[in-house]
């Protein structure tokens, strides 16, 4: 089976499993796990932030960060298809009591004037009737935006707009390192534009567990409290953190290969009749395409494709294919051939 369902499909490699087996561990909840401590220091340095905090998932990073930045009743502003709004079970509402003010965009990237307009909508009626804006969230790369990269200048301009109004900016950097590979901008430069951010180790980096949130020492001290409160504090978590350290050493430089594979896939699909590629020139590791021209629904397309040994998923009304560590160039060719066979069979039938 070739799985392009998600970049979370990666399995730990033999090298990563060896690093995990050899990990030095301690009680992480007490701050005594040396491998977790090493990973946190490494990520803080990578991102140029004062401190960092290991958490079990990226979802918990967003949950904790929004909790630290906001008070109940504040507004959270983000692109309308941001993961923090659409794909976290309403966690920001439940845990932080924030009211979401979405910005409608084509690819998840908004401008300072769109942000200013959203802030004005929220504060149009003065306090005590209106509400303060607690946090602005950006997503790098933007998942439902097709793996779109926030250019550094665009990010800085939006952050300046928020800062002028005294509002912090939080980055969901689940795929920040993909953005770095695609743009040549360093992780620290992107991170320098925002107040807090996190990276996920279970996406293109290929580790089985873990994400690390970074920010000022004060922010991380508060975050540590909520990590405990939400049940995210662990024991011998160095077992998992060792996989993340291994990923930083071995799986970052190769991300460009995933992007090359996504471009190959997009080109192959674009040359297939009745398939409309929404991301004809993918910036990173995702390809979105429509199969309406085949006269079968997304679910039926995915079923027929799986029967031919290729797994993809549906997202945002389209088919989504994501390249990653466990997908080779030959797998991309297999995937294109499988889509073409489903296409030919659908048109014939």
The least distance separating ligand PLP from the CB of residue 98, rounded to whole angstroms, comes to 17
Per CB under 6 A, does 202 bind ligand PLP? yes
Per CB under 6 A, does 220 bind ligand PLP? no
Per CB under 6 A, does 258 bind ligand PLP? no
Residue span binding ligand PLP (CB under 6 A) among the ranges 9-17, 35-43, 52-60, 288-296 = 52-60
Pick the binder of ligand PLP from 4, 5, 44, 58 (CB under 6 A): 58
Q: Which of 261, 274, 279 is nearest to 335 (CA)?
A: 261
The least distance separating ligand PLP from the CB of residue 140, rounded to whole angstroms, comes to 8
Per CB under 6 A, does 331 bind ligand PLP? no
Residue span binding ligand PLP (CB under 6 A) among the ranges 57-65, 109-117, 268-276, 338-346 = 57-65
Residue span binding ligand PLP (CB under 6 A) among the ranges 55-63, 277-285, 288-296, 334-342 = 55-63
Q: Which residue is nearest to ligand PLP (CB)?
A: 58
Pick the binder of ligand PLP from 35, 70, 96, 143 (CB under 6 A): 143
The least distance separating ligand PLP from the CB of residue 186, rounded to whole angstroms, comes to 20
3-state secondary structure the chain: CEECCCHHHCCCCHHHHHHHHCCCCCCHHHCCCHHHHHHHHHHHHHHCCCEEEEECCHHHHHHHHHHHHCCCCCEEEEECCCHHHHCCCCHHHHHHCCEEEEECCCCCCCCHHHHHHHHHHHHCCCCCCCCCEEEEEEECCECCCCCECCCHHHHHHHHHHHHHCCCCEEEEECCHHHHHHHHCCCHHHHHHCCCEEEEECCCCCCCCCCEEEEECHHHHHHHHHHHHHCCCCCCCCHHHHHHHHHHHHHCCCCHHHHHHHHHHHHHHHHCCCCCEECCCCCCCCEEEEECHHHCCCHHHHHHHHHHCCEECEEECCEEEEECCCCCCHHHHHHHHHHHHHHHHHHHHC
Map residues 63-92 to x or -, x wherever contact with ligand PLP holds by CB under 6 A. --------------------x---------
Pick the binder of ligand PLP from 172, 258, 283, 331 (CB under 6 A): 172
First to last CA, the chain: 25
Per CB under 6 A, does 200 bind ligand PLP? yes
The least distance separating ligand PLP from the CB of residue 175, rounded to whole angstroms, comes to 6
If the CB atoms of residues 174 and 291 are measured against ligand PLP, the closer one turns out to be 174
If the CB atoms of residues 108 and 168 are measured against ligand PLP, the closer one turns out to be 108
Footprint on this chain of ligand PLP (rule: CB under 6 A): 57-59, 83, 139, 143, 172, 174, 200, 202, 211
């Amino acid at each position: 089976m070739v799985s392009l369902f998600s970049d979370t499909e990666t399995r730990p490699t033999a090298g990563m499993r060896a690093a995990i087996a050899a990990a030095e561990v301690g009680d992480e909840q007490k701050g005594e796990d040396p491998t977790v401590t090493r990973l946190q220091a490494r990520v803080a340095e990578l991102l140029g932030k004062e401190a960092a905090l290991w958490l079990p998932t990226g979802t918990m990073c967003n949950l904790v960060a929004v909790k630290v930045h906001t008070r109940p009743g504040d507004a959270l502003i983000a692109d309308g298809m941001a993961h923090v709004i659409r794909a976290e079970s309403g966690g920001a509402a439940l845990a932080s009591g924030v009211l979401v003010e979405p910005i409608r965009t084509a690819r998840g990237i908004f401008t300072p004037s769109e942000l200013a307009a959203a802030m004005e909508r929220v504060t149009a009626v003065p306090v005590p009737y209106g509400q303060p804006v607690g946090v602005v969230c950006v997503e790098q790369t933007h998942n439902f935006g097709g793996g779109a990269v926030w250019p550094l200048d665009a990010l800085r301009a939006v952050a300046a707009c928020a800062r002028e109004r005294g509002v912090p900016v939080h980055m969901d950097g689940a795929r920040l390192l993909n953005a770095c590979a695609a743009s040549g901008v360093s992780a620290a430069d992107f991170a320098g534009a925002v107040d807090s951010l996190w990276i996920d180790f279970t996406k293109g980096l290929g580790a089985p567990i873990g994400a690390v949130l970074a920010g000022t020492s004060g922010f991380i001290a508060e975050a540590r409290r909520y990590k405990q409160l939400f049940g995210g504090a662990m024991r011998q978590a160095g077992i998992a953190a060792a996989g993340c350290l291994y990923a930083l050493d071995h799986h970052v430089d190769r991300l460009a290969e995933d992007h090359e594979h996504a471009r190959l896939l997009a080109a192959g699909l674009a040359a297939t009749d009745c398939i409309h590629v929404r991301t004809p020139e993918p910036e990173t590791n995702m390809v979105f395409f429509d199969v309406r021209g085949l006269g079968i629904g997304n679910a039926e397309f995915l079923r027929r494709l799986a029967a031919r040994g290729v797994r993809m998923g549906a997202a945002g009304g389209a088919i989504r294919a994501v390249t990653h560590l466990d997908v080779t160039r030959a797998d991309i060719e297999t995937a294109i051939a499988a889509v073409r066979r489903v296409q030919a069979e659908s048109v014939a039938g």
